Amino acid sequence: MGACKFCGRSAGLFSSEHKECKEKHDQAPGLLTRWADETLTGRIPMETFERRLQTLQQDYFLRQEEIRPIVAAAMQKAGERFLEDGLLTDEEEQLLSDMQGAGGITMRHIDAKELVLITRNYGFSRWQYAALLRDTLFAPKESLEERRKIGKGMATMTELGPPFPFRLAADEFLGDMQNAIVYYRTKTTRQYVGSSQGVSVRLGAGVYYRVGAFKGPPMEETQLQWVDMGDLAYSNHALYFWGEKERFRIPFDGILSREAGDDTIAIGRDRANSKPEVFRGDPGFGWYMANVIANFHLLDRPDPPADSPSRLR
């Protein structure tokens, strides 16, 4: 006798599921999607969503590994909607965080590898970056004195690794650090297309003359060259990068150009023969760093504004 893969009870000879169990299970993803959307738009409270989710697990046989991607997709949709005005509020961030916990997308429920995979695939880092920008640049809750104290402390922390390897100026303090950032340089290569070695013609004993040798037109190709992986930080004065091979500081007033992709930021320095330098992180990293470079001066603002308008781009 076979057992139903949904309810676990006997399903009869040569059968692995009850028809009614399968019908209920097939209804569950649509219900979960609708309820998650209604919760993230404020139409039903989180407590109601959590009770309904338990019903889907118990009565509709929806497994936890099926729940996570559905909830993650709903969070992605909501996060994009929240950022349409360029600002992620505290309330919106809390709602996303509560939904993440309810959907079992935390280290308490899954291992680090699966958590990283889900958050990258569904763009969680985009709204996490938006929250960082809000808290550090646009609407910080601390006074300037407190922000400086926190920023100086970031440069001396050793719990997560070696201390900050640069000396900060007296009036300089850090705003944020990002780990596992890949650093690329652009490299231009040249090759000649259609070249020929020609033909050797024997003129006499041991004497040859080569005719027809030529080089074709030169073709240049610009490529990204992987250089290093390390940490990237910004202060109220500059960007800092340090990895195994490279360590350098880029003052904000020395950045001539910037071009952001989803997970990359290309920076052109204000110096002779400068070629773009590219930094790559999680999805949303390029957008995040473009806003940092455009608004770094807000980090050193005397006092947090009472009602700060968004400057996210």
* pLDDT tens digit sequence for 155-208: 887 555 667 999 999 999 999 999 999 999 988 766 655 555 555 655 566 566
What per-residue confidence (pLDDT) applies to 120? 86
The CA distance from 138 to 304, in Å, is 8
Nearest to 269 by CA among 299, 241, 236, 288: 241
All domains of the chain, ordered by start, with CATH? 2-122 (no CATH), 139-187+221-300 (2.30.29.30)
| Contacts of residue 220, Cβ cutoff 8 Å, sequence gap at least 6 | 188, 189, 190
Start-to-end CA distance of the chain, whole Å, equals 62
Nearest to 281 by CA among 292, 270, 273, 271: 292
Average pLDDT over every residue of 276-281: 95
3-class DSSP state of 47: helix
3-class DSSP state of 86: coil
Q: Which two tokens stand for residue 208?
A: 């040859």
Work out the pLDDT band at 86, boundaries 50, 70, 90.
confident
Work out the pLDDT band at 8, boundaries 50, 70, 90.
confident
Work out the pLDDT band at 210, boundaries 50, 70, 90.
low
Average pLDDT over every residue of 246-264: 95
pTM above 0.75, yes or no: yes
For residues 71 and 102, the answer to whether their CB atoms sit within 8 Å is yes
CB atoms within 10 A of CB 246: 13
Is the pLDDT assigned to residue 40 strictly greater than 90? yes
The CA distance from 175 to 305, in Å, is 17
For residues 238 and 175, the answer to whether their CB atoms sit within 8 Å is no
The CA distance from 120 to 62, in Å, is 24
**Token match 């890949």: residue?**
182
Angle between helices 112-121 and 64-82 (to 10 degrees): 40
What per-residue confidence (pLDDT) applies to 313? 56
Q: Which two tokens stand for residue 148?
A: 């400086």
φ, ψ for residue 60 (rounded to 5)? -110, 5
For residues 79 and 95, the answer to whether their CB atoms sit within 8 Å is no
For residues 278 and 264, the answer to whether their CB atoms sit within 8 Å is yes
Is the pLDDT assigned to residue 312 strictly greater than 60? no
**Token match 């800092």: residue?**
240
pLDDT tens digits, 50-71: 999 999 999 999 999 999 999 9
For residues 118 and 72, the answer to whether their CB atoms sit within 8 Å is yes
- Mean pLDDT (the chain, rounded): 87
